[in-house]
Structure 1
Amino acid sequence: MPPITLWFLQASRCIRSAWLLEELGLRYAVKFSERENGVAPPAFKTAAGGLGKFPTLQDGETTVFESGNITEYLCDNYDKQGRLLPLVGNPKRYEVLQWIHAAEATWALHGITILYARWHQKDGDVAKTEEGMSGNIRKDMDFLEAALKQSKGRFLLGDEVTAADIMMHFSATFVIARELGVKKGQLPTVEKWLQECEATESYKKAVQTTGHKL
């Protein structure tokens, strides 16, 4: 049994951690669950420990949750050459960390705000509420489109995948798939980058191993 276990909830950010594990060439076991009524089953949440959120990673006696934190943990412990996250002291580390943190604190936050309004608003015009909330995510996605155009390679920071791509991929995919302020076809550079990410052998293997689908 490999020492690393990934608790994987379907249709979630968990694909980030699986993709990263594949990029690092680490063996890992998957504890998988479908959602029940849109959420994780109670027994699955309890068994995973931590916040009861997913992904949750167990590495020996260490339990780590939050996908960004898992990313930093795995890179700091297993990416000794700084290929996916440059080592401390390298200024490029902070370029990658900026995307790692923004994936949740900016892109996911602005997108999920619209989704929650769609799900939970009880009165008023939901379409107008969504439109009013869409300005932030449109600016975010325009920024991503521009950054990718300026890149000197296929990915955010060049011609090789980094932890920036691994974190940002799910956020951008989720926003476009759920039409959270933007629609498919409006961001051609972003969509081409998503295709490049999903064409990597490590991403394809992560999907095959976990059964991920959005």
Structure 2
Amino acid sequence: MPPITLWFLQASRCIRTAWLLEELAQDYEVKFSDRENGVAPAGFKKDAGGLGKFPTLRDGDTLLFESGNIAEYLCDMYDKQHKLLPAVGDPKRYQVLQWVHAAEATWALHGISILYVRWNQKDGDPKKTEQGMSKNVVNDMNYLEETLKKSGSKFLFGDEPNVADTMMHFTAVFILDRELGGVNTRDYPEIVRYITDCEATETYKKAVEKTGHKL
């Protein structure tokens, strides 16, 4: 039995953790569930423990949730050569971690807020509300587009993916796939190229094959 278990809910951020585990060449067991009526089944949430959110990861006696937290933990535990995340004290570490945390705290926050309006607004015009909320998403995606242009490399920090890419990829796909804030692939060729390069890595392909991930 592998020491690492990943609770993987379909159509979710869990692909971030699976891809990172493949990059780290770690063996892991996947406990998988489809959604029921758009949400995680109650029994699956109970089995995972913790907050009942996904991804949830158990490594020995350590139970973790929040994909950014899991990413930082896995790198600190298993990235001994600091290939995916620079060492503590190295200024580059905190440049990388900016993207790890911004993937959720900025990009996903702005995008998911719009998705919740689409799902839940009962009064007024959801399209007008979304239009008013779109500025943050557009600014986020413009910044990512320009960063990728300036990098001159395939990924955020070079021609090999690191932990920042394992976090940002899903968020970029999620926003473009649902055209949150009115953004679309035509306006972001560098982000589309970036997504393609991420998904062309052998480690990403292995993560998809092992987990059955699909958006």
Equivalents in 2 of 1:66, 1:89: separation in Å?
23
CA deviation string 1:83-130 (max 9, x = no partner): 111111211101110000100000000000100001000011111111
User: How many angstroms does 1:63 deviate by?
Assistant: 0.4
Structure 2 match to 1:193: 194
Structure 2 match to 1:203: 204
Determine if contact 1:8/1:14 at 8 Å carries over to the other structure: yes
Equivalents in 2 of 1:192, 1:175: separation in Å?
15
Q: What percentage of residue pairs aligned between the two structures are identical? A: 69
DSSP 3-state at the match of 2:187: coil
Amino acid at match of 1:49: G
Q: What stretches of structure 1 of length at least 5 have no aligned partner? A: none
Q: What TM-score results when the alignment is normalised by the length of structure 2?
A: 0.98
Amino acid at match of 1:120: N
State the 4+ residue runs in structure 1 displaced beyond 3 angstroms. none
User: How many angstroms does 1:152 deviate by?
Assistant: 3.1
Q: Does 1:96 align with 2:70?
A: no
Determine if contact 1:152/1:159 at 8 Å carries over to the other structure: no
Give the CA RMSD over aligned residues. 0.6
Amino acid at match of 2:26: L
CA deviation string 1:122-142 (max 9, x = no partner): 011111111100000000000
DSSP 3-state at the match of 2:51: coil
Equivalents in 2 of 1:125, 1:40: separation in Å?
29
Amino acid at match of 1:212: H
User: How many angstroms does 1:160 deviate by?
Assistant: 1.2
CA deviation string 1:133-184 (max 9, x = no partner): 0000000000000000011310011111011111000111000001101112
CA deviation string 1:25-81 (max 9, x = no partner): 000000000000111000000000110000000001110100000000000000011
Structure 2 match to 1:49: 49
Equivalents in 1 of 2:58, 2:15: separation in Å?
16
Q: What stretches of structure 2 of length at least 5 have no aligned partner? A: none
User: How many angstroms does 1:213 deviate by?
Assistant: 0.2
Structure 1 match to 2:158: 158
DSSP 3-state at the match of 2:158: coil
Amino acid at match of 2:73: Y
Q: What TM-score results when the alignment is normalised by the length of structure 1?
A: 0.99
Aligned residues: 214
Amino acid at match of 2:4: I
